[in-house]
Amino acid sequence: MRLIFLAALLGAALASRVSYEGYKVLRFNPTESQLRLLEKYRNSPGFDFWKEPRKYGDNLDIMVSPDRQLPFLSFLKDNNITFKVINDNVQTSIDAEIRRQAVTPKTPRAVSFDQYYRHEEINSYLQELAEKYPDLVSVESLGVSYENREMLVIKISSGGGGHRPAVLVDGGIHAREWIAPAMALYIINQLVENNAANSDLTDSVDWFIVPVLNPDGYEYSHTTDRLWRKSRSPIITITGVCRGVDQNRNFDFHWMEIGASDYPCDEIYGGEEPLSEIENRNLRDFATLHKQHIKLYLTFHSYGEYLLYPWGYTSELPSDWETLHALAEEVDAAQVAAGGNPFTIGSSTNVLYAAAGGSDDYMKGVLGIELSYTVELTNTRYGFQLPASLIEPTVTQFFEGVRVFAKYVKENF
């Protein structure tokens, strides 16, 4: 009976999903000239560049659709480009993930870090914390998403009447990067439910945490297309409707200048206008209201193990880049001491790629938040589909870095 129920649940979960049957992910360690050759495939149909290298020695991961594999493999052979297949069939790993999600018991009122939660579950957890810890926690709505999902921000403050320096954290601007909301949730969990051990992080610093900045995309990546990145608002084109804007190309600072597309069907579509996306306007409004107090902005993404600071729109550096760099190094040392791999540190443009309209650039460039970082968590062969069993080591290791960030804010503002 139980088996039939589970099979039915799984059947429903698998129905009408985007299929990645036969898609492979190849990992390269290209030389500069090989990279130039591979770059030509970047915008070709059937190719999805999951992770980009910038400096020699970094890896490049490309997902290739079944119909493009044969010609691509012979191109690689002709050019002596070696690679490893890190995922032989993306659909198989998606199915395994769906199976795990369907059978993992959801335990209300006790969060755990061995499973990924849905948006509703995350919202309920935040509300429960507000009820249980009224002296430390309050929850506010930033507004609703395009598809009417409530976007919650949790405020963690042990007092001070809103005059203390604050940290703004978000996760999940990119739908498929599930470890990002999980990281945000872990920070919340530690600051609130383990406050006795972490009271030094909240005794003179306030926290504003938005665990899911793209709730519609996040839900869509759970129900329909595991590799969805963008928001879900529809945009009419001459060939039909395409959905979604890359919310991290949509902020109003050097919008569309570089590394963004004006074609609505592209993964890095910047939107019809800056801040076209309601989810981004919701964050903008909240951050603007509190900008005097927010000293540090952390936006979580995956994957690649990078600690990035502005700018993403230019290779020039902000005047205080040495402070940003030195703090990132301290943060990295702490997470390495906790067992993590060393992260690559630098400005987005210089160590990753140029891409304007990101939330990190906006927070610093427009709102004047001094310390602004994009954190790209994890760099495993699993790509975006980090197995749930690896959530805990990932988030606990990086939490040691978060401690260093908090200490810096506490001591310097």
Query: Which residues of this chain interact with ligand 0X9, rule CB under 6 A?
Result: 174, 177, 248, 301, 308, 312, 348, 352, 355, 358, 360-361, 374, 376
> Tokens 């996760």 map to which residue?
171
CB of 272 to ligand 0X9, least distance (A): 19
Burial of 393 (0-12, 13-18, 19+ CB in 10 A): middle
374 binds, among ligand 0X9, Zn ion, none (CB under 5 to 8 A by kind): ligand 0X9
User: Residue 138: helix, strand or coil by DSSP?
Assistant: strand
- Which two structure tokens, joined as six digits, stand for 411? 């001591």
51 binding Zn ion? (CB under 5 A):
no
254 binding Zn ion? (CB under 5 A):
no
Q: How far is CA 69 from CA 20, 23, 26, 179, in A?
A: 13, 9, 10, 29
358 binds, among Zn ion, ligand 0X9, none (CB under 5 to 8 A by kind): ligand 0X9
> How far is Cα 321 from Cα 326, in angstroms, rounded to an integer?
8
Answer whether 300's CB lies under 8 Å from 171's CB: yes
360 binds, among Zn ion, ligand 0X9, none (CB under 5 to 8 A by kind): ligand 0X9
Stretch that binds Zn ion, among 77-85, 155-163, 176-184, 390-398 (CB under 5 A): 176-184
Nearest to ligand 0X9 of 151, 308 (CB atom): 308
CB of 365 to ligand 0X9, least distance (A): 10
Answer whether 360's CB lies under 8 Å from 310's CB: yes
Which of 54, 119, 174, 232 contacts Zn ion by CB under 5 A?
174
Annotated catalytic residue within 150, 219, 376, 400: 376
Answer whether 345's CB lies under 8 Å from 328's CB: yes
Nearest to ligand 0X9 of 130, 352 (CB atom): 352
User: Residue 174: helix, strand or coil by DSSP?
Assistant: coil
Give the gyration radius of the chain's Cα atoms: 21
Burial of 53 (0-12, 13-18, 19+ CB in 10 A): buried
Does the annotation mark 376 as catalytic? Answer: yes
58 binds, among Zn ion, ligand 0X9, none (CB under 5 to 8 A by kind): none
CB of 352 to ligand 0X9, least distance (A): 6
CB of 312 to ligand 0X9, least distance (A): 2
Which of 284, 301, 364, 410 contacts Zn ion by CB under 5 A?
301
Main-chain phi, psi angles of 168, to 5 degrees:
-105, 125
| Catalytic center residues | 376
Residues that bind Zn ion (CB under 5 A): 174, 177, 301
